[in-house]
Chains A and B, each alone.
Chain A
Amino acid sequence: MSNVPNELKYVASHEWIREEGEGVVAIGITDHAQDLLGDVVFVELPEVGDELSAGDDVGVVESVKAASDVYAPLSGEVVAINEELEDAPEMVNSDPYGDGWFFKLKLSDTAELEDLLDADGYAAHCESES
């Protein structure tokens, strides 16, 4: 079974969300998602300054096996992207919740946080998909 940390929030499209304070969240894809994709070889991210709405298609993860869209789980402005993924996309596989993070958002509506799945909810969702 893949790793689903309790302290994070999730969406059904397999992104995780970590609250970092002052309305900023870090976003990446889950261990379950990287396991399904296999070796990640490219990650296309939004740009700093982009205004995103929850549900927007904002990037792509390409693995040896398949391409998968990245969705914005929340609305807000991109305040940072993980530039190290350019040279080391394999960090998405080796450390999906740490060094393999994708981008950070300054939320425009923190109330959206209420709509996210908790670890149990996400684990149940993965179970239902398999």
Chain B
Amino acid sequence: MGHKTALHAQHQALGAKLVDFSGWEMPLHYGSQVEEHHKVRQSAGMFDVSHMTVVDVAGAQARSFLRHLLANDVARLTHKGKALYTAMLNEQGGVIDDLIVYLMTEPGASGEWYRLVVNCGTRDNDLRWMADQAVRFDITLTEQPELAMIAIQGPKARQRVEQVVSESRARLVSELKPFVGHESEGWFIARTGYTGEDGLEIMLPEDEAEAFWQQLLDAGVAPCGLGARDTLRLEAGMNLYGTDMDESVSPLEAAMGWTVALEPEDRHFVGREAVEKMKAEGVSRRLVGLVLTERGVLRGHQTVIVEGLGEGEITSGSFSPTLGHSIALARVPAGVGETAEVEMRGKRVPVRVVRPPFVRNGEKVFS
């Protein structure tokens, strides 16, 4: 296997089951992914997400470049530190990647710059695409591979972090608004995450990661692997790139329509024409939630049958530890009603069709 994060030795010492994830040796779990999942829903868990790619965009035209590159509009970032979830589309309106962009300076300030966090599996392709798109803009793209990233998530996450960090960082953590991040003494601390719980994502120099991880462990924060990360994000109704959408899928077919800023009308962004055309013609498929309350587990790639309309496919399916039954995201014919059937192990099983998310802040939220 290839790359190791700055926390690799910690994972080994904690008995993690390590797996290859897009060329990185990452923890799948440290014993039980279900127990890790519950820790995040009930108190606090932490994830090493240092494999994710951080790219800083600076220069006089940073804003106009990102307004061209991204389907959501960075002009919506009206104050320093604010984060925006967005897709990066190709000309056909397919999703090249989904990412978070932070405005790192006051809007319009001289020296304005942005920080992007993109998926690790799409790193090479993303960097190539961004560099190609940047040709006509006066900007610089700087990858920050020397940053480690730790996500601390759960109702007790911020409290636990406050216990172990410096006074000024603790003050920032207690005052930070949701979906905002700020720098503090060389760390970038953001109130964001991928679990549907309150929590933080902290980027810090690699050589400080191990000590911080250890302090969090000592404070009772449970180490959690990619397994729990996947069931948590699925319960939260959050897409996983490469599974729920990819370059062949429009954001309108991936429940990401809300992230595409068609206003103002005079902003051109890559993929705009394709998305507008699809919107005008109507989408034939959409991403929905499925719920199976009987025994059995919905799995990716299982066929979904919508009577009278045709077939679709489960894009992500798993057991929901919080709900005690299976849930899934599925791309199905757009006219789907409240029920469908899934082909599971040779049998057709009825499922309910719901609007994700399934779980937020520890509670069931669909009806």
Question: Using a CB–CB distance below 8 Å, which chain A residues touch chain B?
Answer: 38-39, 41-42, 44, 60, 62-67, 90, 93
A39 in contact with B32 given A64-B227, A65-B227, A67-B345 (CB within 8 Å): yes
Bound CA–CA A118/B321 (angstroms): 36
**Could you list some 5 contacts between A and B, CB below 8 A?**
A38-B33, A64-B33, A64-B318, A64-B319, A65-B227
Chain B residues whose CB sits within 8 angstroms of the CB of A90 once the complex forms: 32, 34
Tell me the minimal C-beta distance from B195 to chain A in angstroms. Answer: 16
A42 in contact with B34 given A62-B319, A65-B227 (CB within 8 Å): no
Among B70-78, B163-171, B293-301, which stretch is in contact with chain A? B293-301
Among B33, B296, B299, point to the contact of A39 (Cβ < 8 A): B33
Q: Does B316 contact A (CB under 8 A)?
A: no
Q: Are B32 and A93 in contact (CB under 8 A)?
A: yes
- Nearest residue in B to A62 (C-beta to C-beta)? B297
Bound CA–CA A90/B35 (angstroms): 11
A67 in contact with B297 given A38-B227, A41-B319, A60-B345 (CB within 8 Å): yes
Chain A residues whose CB sits within 8 angstroms of the CB of B28 once the complex forms: 38
Tell me the minimal C-beta distance from B234 to chain A in angstroms. Answer: 10
Bound CA–CA A60/B29 (angstroms): 23
Tell me the residues in window 15-41 of chain B with beta carbons closer than 8 Å to chain A beta carbons: 28-29, 32-34
Chain B residues whose CB sits within 8 angstroms of the CB of A62 once the complex forms: 295-297, 319
Tell me the minimal C-beta distance from B276 to chain A in angstroms. Answer: 40
Chain B residues whose CB sits within 8 angstroms of the CB of A65 once the complex forms: 227
Q: Are A42 and B295 in contact (CB under 8 A)?
A: yes
Q: Are B297 and A42 in contact (CB under 8 A)?
A: yes
Bound CA–CA A32/B337 (angstroms): 43
Chain B residues whose CB sits within 8 angstroms of the CB of A67 once the complex forms: 297, 299, 345
- Nearest residue in B to A94 (C-beta to C-beta)? B32
Q: Does B231 contact A (CB under 8 A)?
A: yes
Tell me the minimal C-beta distance from B242 to chain A in angstroms. Answer: 17
Chain A residues whose CB sits within 8 angstroms of the CB of B296 once the complex forms: 42, 62
Tell me the minimal C-beta distance from B229 to chain A in angstroms. Answer: 12
Bound CA–CA A27/B227 (angstroms): 29
Q: Which 5 A-B pairs have the closest CB atoms?
A: A39-B34, A41-B319, A62-B297, A42-B295, A64-B319
